[in-house]
Structures are given as C-alpha cells and as structure tokens.
Amino acid sequence: MDVATKPDSVGVVRTLSYEIEQERLPFRLALGGEIKNVTIAYETYGKLSAARDNVILIVHALSGDAHVAGYHTAHDKRPGWWDFVVGPKKAIDTDRYFVVCSNILGGCSGSTGPSSLNPDTGKPYGILFPMITVKDMVFAQRLLLEHLGVERVLSVIGGSMGGMQALLWGIYFHDFVQSIVPCATTGRLSPQNIAFDEVGRFAIMADPNWRGGDYYSHKPPARGLATARMIGHITYLSKASMLEKFGRQPSIQMGKSWFEPSFSVEDYLHHQGTTFVERFDANSYLYITKAMDIFDFFKEWEEAPQHDWSKGPKVLIPAFSSDWLFPPEDSKALVKAFKRRGADISFIEVSSDYGHDAFLLEKSQLSPIIRDFLRYVQEED
C-alpha cells in the first residue's frame, strides 16, 4: 500500500515556513540578545474548527523537528517521529483536532538557528548566534500560533525537552492554554545531565573541523557531532533495553582491528552517530543542549506572573519507570509543585524497559493515556 493512502496516516504533508512580521522584530531574547529576522518551520494536520477550540501544539525534543506525523513523499520509508500518536483515529486524532508542530528556534530544520544567514554579515551565524533559552522557543511558537489564527490551545504536549516547553506554556500563557502534557521531562537538569551535555559539546568543539563554529564552507565537525550523539543515545536507553536489544551479540562488521566494533551495541551507536550528522547541525547541538542546561522551571515559575491554577491549565505528567535520564522522581517533584499551587494535576508512572526513549516507543501504553486526558479536558471545559 502507498504510504500516502494508509487509512491511519495523515498522508503526505509538507513543511511550511512562517517569517515573523517586521513590526514584531527584532525578536528579543530572555538573556538580552536579539535576532533581526526569524523564520519558524512548522507542519499542521487536521482542520481548525469553526470555534477555533480544537488546537493541539506538539513540541519536540532536542533532535526533533516539525515533522511529527505522516510522510514527505509517497515513497518515504519512515513517517514523522511521533506518527503512532498523531493521525486519524489515533490518540491525537486529526479527524478531531487541529495539530501544529514547529521546529524550535535555534534548530536546523527550517527554523532560524546558528546555520542561518546573519543579516549583518551575509554568512551563517555560527557562534555569533545569540544564546537562546527554552523560554525563547516558547515565545516564538506563540507568535506562530497567532499567525495561524489560533485563539486558544486545547493542549501543549511534548516529551523530554518538549516537556520543558510545555511547562513554560503553562506559566507564561496560562489563559491561552487549557492543558499541558509534559512527558518524560524534568523541571531542571541534574549535575549528571549537565555533565553528559558538556562531554558532547566538548567532543564537537575538540573536532578540528569545528573551526570555532565557522565550518559552513568547509567539512563539518562530523566526528565530534557523531560522538556527542553516541553519548546521548546511551542516556536515552536503559540497561534492560540494551541487554534485550543487543546482549553481547557480535558486530556484523568484526573489523580487523580490535578497536573497530566488536559488539552489535557498538554498531548501533556508530549508526546513530553517522545518521545524525547527515541531518543535524553541530552548532545547533551546542546551543540547544546549553538551553536545556540553564532551564530552571521552578525559578521561572517563581519569577513569572502568578495565577490561580485551580482554574487551569489542567496538567498530565507521564513518566517512565526505567528512565534514568529524567527519572520518575523528577516528575514527582513537578507534581508536588503543581499540587501546592492547586492545579488539576494527574500523574502516571508507566512501567517500561525502554528508558528515556519510552515516550517515543510505548505506543500501547502512552496512546490511551493521552487520548483519555484530551477527552477529559474537553468535557471539563
């Protein structure tokens, strides 16, 4: 069957671009910098209702993009990164909801980031790109939704760094958002998380091809970025999932040298590193991981305008038992904070061996949780 005609798929979709209007520029950043021109890449699925009350914003994780569901061509081998959740009759039912997903500010999949042209130089920004925060990503998304004519959002849903964005939607745009679903996330990174990010950034900057971030007319720092991705992927899995998936199976390559891959887990990591380099920008990786490191939801919550959480938004926080990157304890800390504010808060710990990546893989368990919560939000509104 042609992927474009699968009955449970949104079919072939295309990525669109929104250029923030000149009267709204420059785009001022939380840490004091500014960007003169901003483009946000996005995709939409389903139709906006006449009442404009069926909007769901999906926000992606570190390496994600706007392509959350469907296919870009009829011959694509793989659909969008959360296709099992988004589509006709799925948990986020595109026959019922108008779904928006955008590539984050600072990204490299169509949105303005370090690889974009600096209007002052006519060359890619590189590390001249100003430092961004998760808050900046959210405020850029808010302008996109306004551009699309969205007057209220039924839910903002995201996992990992997407969950961080969902949390900030709740405190900065509480009157605009009916609910948030921060999934497999945390209110702030632990020192261990920051350490992993720093090792990844060090690998990129130690690559001689990084050239101080000015590599766009030269070979990219592929080995450094691949190494960063390999480190990251280890944190996304669990001991149990790695044992089941790889065990101590030998490498399919079995190189002549002892220091070429000997085990299948090494093949996997090399594959992840190589394919990541083909689609991601090293400087974006530096900026996005640093934005995650400095993210502190609890601090922002104290400094943001306060409101009555008993009147919304409603909150659902799913966590996964084997997630050691953002463990269930991190989610429980968020739950306690929301309860103290009087929020309508639901928490569920899903039993899974998939580790942090469970939010991208646990179709049978996660789908009904999201579906039921969205219906609850609509019924209670």
Q: Which residues are catalytic?
A: 160, 323, 356
Q: Find tokens 């006709």 and name the residue.
A: 88
Whether 299 and 329 have beta carbons less than 8 Å apart is answered as no
Whether 129 and 281 have beta carbons less than 8 Å apart is answered as no
Torsion angles phi and psi, residue 316, rounded to 5: -125, 125
Whether 240 and 324 have beta carbons less than 8 Å apart is answered as no
- Strands 55-59, 16-19: pairing is unpaired
Q: Is 317 helix (H, G, I), strand (E, B) or coil?
A: strand
Alpha-carbon distance of 226 to 248, in angstroms, equals 23
Torsion angles phi and psi, residue 271, rounded to 5: -65, -45
Quote the tokens at residue 315: 């909150």
Closest CA to 365 of 349, 346, 345: 349
Task: Tell me 153's DSSP state.
Answer: B
DSSP string, 110-127: SS-STTSBPTTTSSB-GG
Whether 379 and 316 have beta carbons less than 8 Å apart is answered as no
Quote the tokens at residue 135: 């808050």
For 104, left (φ over 0), alpha (ψ -120 to 50), or beta? Answer: beta
Residue type, 177: V
Run of H or E including 18: strand 16-19
Torsion angles phi and psi, residue 152, rounded to 5: -160, 150
